[in-house]
Each structure stands twice: as C-alpha cells, then as structure tokens.
C-alpha cells in the first residue's frame, strides 16, 4: 500500500485480516500511524518517488497495489500486478492510458495557471473501494489458467 495519505488504510487492514493476506505499508515517514499487528511497515528515504520506486521494485505478478498515484499504478501494472485506487477504481490496461493522459492535461492546465480540483473523498468512495478490493483479491487468487486471456488485436501488423 502506498501509505502516504491513504484514506482507506483501515479498510485494507480489515479485508487483509479477514482473508489472512500480507500487507506492506510503504511511506516516506512514520507519520504517527499505528499499524495492526502483522502489517509490515517500510519507511523509505525522503524523495519524490522513493516510496513508489520501492513498491515497483518489490511488487510481483498478482500482488495488489492500493494507490491514488496513476503513474505508480501504471508501473505496477507493467510488472503484472493489480492496482486499485482508494476511490474504488480498478486500474487495468484498458483505462490506465487515458488516466495518464488526463493527468498530463491537468498538469498542463495547472502550469498555465488554471485551477484543477479533485472531488472530496466520500463514504460512497469508501464503499466502492471495498467492493473493488474484494473483486481484485478474488482475481489475484484465481489460478493463472483461470485468468481471462487478452483478446487478440486484429488491428496490429
């Protein structure tokens, strides 16, 4: 879990505890957050992408990354992992490209002086996250032979 400012820590801990799943919380500092017994804490050096880099280095196929950071989600997907945003969006190869493009457009707008705002985090987001996390855990637990195969790309050379 990308632990810096994650609004769904308790939900992750609850689901992981119920299903006996390991959890690692990675952050740039301890931030005074108490973790349940058995949850691994990794504190990385200060730096813009230090936590992200650690997560990408450690994550493997069918591991689940909980993050609102779109570039981190993209990097995890590239390693065969799964990614879920705290607002309940499951990142995948179908939607990560448009999310990255939208992020760049927002960055450009901010650079030109325009304000961009994110909607606040709601109880509905929390509920959507729990549903998405449950589905993603079930997907990760399926044997590789039961995983859906990608459709052929009829438009490639």
Q: Is the pLDDT of residue 154 over 70?
A: no
Instruction: Report the pLDDT averaged over residues 80-90.
Output: 95
Are 74 and 92 spatial neighbours (Cβ–Cβ below 8 Å)?
Answer: no
Q: Is the pLDDT of residue 4 over 80?
A: no
Are 17 and 39 spatial neighbours (Cβ–Cβ below 8 Å)?
Answer: no
Helix-, strand-, coil-residue percentages of the chain, each rounded to 5: 45, 10, 45
**More confident call, 145 vs 113:** 113
2 in helix, strand or coil?
strand
Q: Is the pLDDT of residue 156 over 50?
A: no
The model's pLDDT over 25-42, given as tens digits with 9 standing for 90+, comes to 998 875 667 889 999 999
107 in helix, strand or coil?
helix
Q: Tell me phi and psi for residue 112, to 5 degrees.
A: -90, 5
> What is the chain's Cα-based Rg?
17
């Amino acid at each position: 879990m990308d632990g810096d400012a994650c609004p769904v820590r308790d939900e992750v801990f609850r689901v992981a505890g119920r299903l006996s799943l390991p959890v690692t919380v990675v952050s740039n500092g301890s931030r005074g957050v108490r973790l349940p017994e058995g949850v691994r804490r990794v504190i990385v050096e200060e730096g813009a992408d230090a936590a992200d880099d650690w997560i990408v280095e450690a994550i493997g196929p069918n591991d689940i990354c909980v993050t609102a950071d779109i570039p981190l989600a993209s990097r995890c997907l590239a390693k065969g992992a799964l990614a879920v945003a705290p607002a309940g969006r499951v990142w995948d190869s179908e939607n990560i490209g448009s999310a990255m493009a939208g992020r760049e457009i927002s960055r450009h707008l901010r650079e030109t002086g325009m304000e961009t705002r994110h909607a606040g985090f709601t109880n509905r987001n929390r509920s959507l996250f729990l549903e998405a996390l449950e589905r993603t855990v079930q997907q990760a637990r399926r044997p590789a032979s039961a995983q859906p195969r990608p459709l052929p790309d009829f438009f490639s050379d």
